[in-house]
Amino acid sequence: MNDARLLDDLGTAVELAGPPQRIVSLVPSLTEALAPTGRLVGATDWCTHPAGLAVDRVRGTKNPDLAAIAGLQPDLVIANQEENRELDVRRLREQGVAVWVTVTESVPESIASMRRLFVEVLGEPEPDWLTEADRLWSGDRPPVRRTAAVPIWRDPWMVVGRDTFTGDLLRRLGIDNVYADAKGRYPHTTVAEIVAREPDLVLLPDEPYEFTADDGPEAFEDLATVLLEGRLITWYGPALVEAHVTLQELLGRPTI
């Protein structure tokens, strides 16, 4: 690949002199996926996997340190349409930094996006975990067996709404999101409205809001609640393989 001009997931041209060797990731899921390549030189403070990753930190996904990123002289910065701000992507590009933006609003879209990133952009063979994730999560969606609400914040309460990776992933486990008809992707709501929708389960992840046994379940005394690792329903890297096994065990039973 010499002076290749590729189109990212948003259709924006990204010019690269060759397979990038110095990469900054602004997406925790993709940091976990890219770490084994040995090409990461920077990642956000929220990039917690793999443990012990020794790269420079460039602050958060919504407030990255653009000067620090440019100082690392990356061949490529990898961002995500949902997790990162368009303003930051634009400012990096204005400094001459190549930025690849991914779009991951469903499980198949996420798998296809990562396949393009590894094979077309990095020139890497498809990782085994990606092949396995494709096998585990592909195919027809099973019949709906139960419904769920997925709060992601409280005070004010916010939930997973329509057209999201999380909603699609749960649907592929036979669980329908009771907010799939919401106007927004992450609408504000109330406990009373969640209860009124009568979900079979209320799933309480530990990110972005850290729900715990003492902070969350008490709001839904008459509903079944499940505390779970947010990474399992929001990350679309190697976590997809772990998620399939763990969520089947945690949520696959008829009753909790």
Domain boundary, last residue among 94, 115, 136? 136
pLDDT digits (tens, 9 = 90+) for 9-51: 999 999 999 999 999 999 999 999 999 999 999 999 999 999 9
Note the pLDDT of residue 234: 96
Q: Are 27 and 236 in contact (CB under 8 A)?
A: no
pLDDT digits (tens, 9 = 90+) for 156-206: 999 999 999 999 999 999 999 999 999 999 999 999 999 999 999 999 999
Coil, helix or strand at residue 163: coil
Rounded-to-integer distance, Cα 108 and Cα 139, Å: 10
Question: Does residue 151 have a cis bond before it (omega within 30 degrees)?
Answer: no
Rounded-to-integer distance, Cα 157 and Cα 187, Å: 9
Average pLDDT over residues 58-63: 96
- Residues 191 and 91 occupy one common structural domain: no
Note the pLDDT of residue 4: 63
Domain boundary, last residue among 84, 103, 136? 136
Domain coverage including residue 67: 4-136
- Tokens 């669980």 found at: 175
pLDDT band at residue 254 using 50, 70 and 90 as cut-offs: very low
Residue 223 belongs to a domain: yes
Residue type, 59: R
**56 DSSP 8-state letter:** E
- Residues 129 and 151 occupy one common structural domain: no
pTM above the 0.85 mark? yes
Residue 23 belongs to a domain: yes
Q: Are 133 and 111 in contact (CB under 8 A)?
A: yes
Domain boundary, last residue among 88, 108, 136? 136
- Residues 37 and 110 occupy one common structural domain: yes
- Residues 125 and 215 occupy one common structural domain: no
- Residue 253 pLDDT greater than 90, yes or no: no
- Residues 129 and 162 occupy one common structural domain: no
